[in-house]
Amino acid sequence: MHEVDTYKLVFIDGKFSSFLSSTTHEGIDVCLLSSVLTKPKYKTTLETYFNQVAKKDESLTSLNTAFAQEGAYINIPKNKIADKPIEIIYFSTGTEAALMVQPRNLIIVGENAQVHIIERHQSLNSNPVLTNSVTEIFADKSSFVDYYKIQNDVQSANLIDNTYISQNEKSHASVHTFSFGGNITRNNLNFYHKGEYIESTLKGITIIGDKQHVDHYTLVQHATPNCESHQNYKTILSDAATGVFNGKIFVEKEAQKTNAFQQNNNILLSDKATINAKPQLEIFADDVKCSHGCTIGQLDETAMFYMQQRGIPKKEARALLMYAFSNEVIQSIKIPELKQRITKIIANKLGVKMGFEL
């Protein structure tokens, strides 16, 4: 249900599954990173892009660089539009030989090119597993990159996700992160501006319970004038779950006319739930529009009472309020089938059967 017609790169315990995958070299490259690493014709491309934007002083990123064996290679050439979304799926079994997997993705989107990408990490059983993932994305002039991360794993799975995005003039890169499952999840999302009139969009929804833990660490480095960034993260925590939002906007002296917005809203459904929020602005330019905000609270009891007075059961009323809380992020999903899939996951997380997509 709600399946998206995509090119697929499927990996099981870090090893490529050709049977489950659908790759292409027709106009665009959707293939294995390992195949690129061994072909001389890609040597210049690798020297230009591989490990060029990832932080070399970040320990887990360096560990990935040293031990990564496989991952996705996506190259959308100049003026090309990917005819359908690209899906990267990592399955893990947590067997003794695969207690830790380290996928590495390299994505290059050429001038005036466009692509939609979906990434998912999923355990096939309850064995403990740690995934240390690194993704480098290069958005060339006037390109459009639309990236979705779906994290809805079992509670024995742990994920560390480092994503680095380098944007050139007039490019637009958007990353949506949906964190619904797993034991400990850490998302490090870094945007670097390399030209004027760039747009960066960072949005996320986190809905967790039990003793789950999700971190979101974001950085947008405004280094050039006339650029925009928009961050909007929504979190719903129940039981003894813990959430962290540490968002940083860095505006360098040369980045005049910057427009940067950051918002983090959180709902705590339990006295034991914890949120640690730290929105940050570091501004060294004097002609900018920058704002950040954070709210932490509970569901509106007046709204709950109003809905129950009109015949909506308490459980469904709570779910409607939480869905409305998340809806601003959901509405910005540009793939209709994916939007339906996310709303279905949210309904399941909230424990109701409701047609939210209406």
Give the percent of the chain with pLDDT over 70: 97
What value does the mean pLDDT take over residues 20-45? 88
Q: pLDDT-based confidence at 273, cuts 50/70/90? A: very high
pLDDT tops 90 at residue 213: yes
Q: Is 337 helix (H, G, I), strand (E, B) or coil?
A: helix
Residue 39: other Cβ atoms inside 10 A: 11
Q: pLDDT-based confidence at 275, cuts 50/70/90? A: very high
pLDDT for res 98: 67
Q: pLDDT-based confidence at 57, cuts 50/70/90? A: confident
Cα→Cα distances 319→3, 152, 272, 312, Å: 24, 19, 20, 11
pLDDT for res 358: 41
Cα→Cα distances 95→49, 102, 125, 127, 230, Å: 33, 15, 10, 7, 40
Lowest-pLDDT choice from 161-170, 215-224, 312-321, 346-355 = 346-355
pLDDT for res 85: 97
Is the dihedral angle over the CA atoms 14, 19, 21, 23 positive or is it negative? Answer: positive
pLDDT for res 184: 96
- Tokens read off for 230: 């928009």
- Tokens read off for 175: 């990353």
What value does the mean pLDDT take over residues 240-254? 96
Place of tokens 């089938």: 337
pLDDT for res 354: 59
pLDDT for res 24: 93
Task: Indicate the average pLDDT of the chain.
Answer: 92
